[in-house]
Chain A
Amino acid sequence: DQQVKQNSPSLSVQEGRISILNCDYTNSMFDYFLWYKKYPAEGPTFLISISSIKDKNEDGRFTVFLNKSAKHLSLHIVPSQPGDSAVYFCAADDMRFGAGTRLTVKP
């Protein structure tokens, strides 16, 4: 039973606009949620995390929002850049990952 779900397999945005990637979870006991970015032929790399006691965490162009009542988190990238084109995975602190969302940022 997948406890972390990413329901959008792909997203395409224009350079300079906002990218919003979504993730849903089922287990309210998770302490942390994390986002990873993956380029082709490379391993995933950690991007940003959020503690379950917070509702927002910001790091430069990347912001993660957590809505505990909806069991939903989202990653906002503003402004989006072509170099952000990658697959983004959300994960919970039990090291289970979502299926990923492929982001394409068009110049």
Chain B
Amino acid sequence: DAGITQSPRHKVTETGTPVTLRCHQTENHRYMYWYRQDPGHGLRLIHYSYGVKDTDKGEVSDGYSVSRSKTEDFLLTLESATSSQTSVYFCAISRRGAPPEAFFGQGTRLTVV
């Protein structure tokens, strides 16, 4: 299994509070991604990173920010959590080789009440 760890695995938070999810990898992969999984929508890309301090927006980036100060860590922050951000969040890593196979973490279930 690829060395990728998400923390926390479960979190309940109140509307309006900031929340940070962490993704940690031990594979030294250049690319890291944050997704959310919702019924009927599949996996939607929130933000991604192509190197330290290099990040870009995905399909559903509003209300989220990311940071990558080290190769191994990619943080996802919900600046002010809303109920619509209740979801399961997955982190993924990739070397973008041929094929550009990605490895996923176990997911974080976030509930905003």
Contact = CB atoms under 8 A, between A and B. Distances in A.
Co-complex (A, B):
yes
Contacts of A91: 102
Given A9-B40, A43-B90, A95 B104 contact: no
Contacts of B44: 97
Given A42-B106, A44-B104, A51 B99 contact: yes
B43 A100 contact: yes
Interface residues of A, number: 23
A80 interface: no
B74 interface: no
A97 B41 CA distance: 9
Interface string B88-104: 00101010101111111
12 contacts: A31-B98, A34-B100, A34-B102, A41-B106, A43-B92, A44-B104, A51-B98, A89-B42, A93-B100, A96-B45, A99-B40, A99-B42
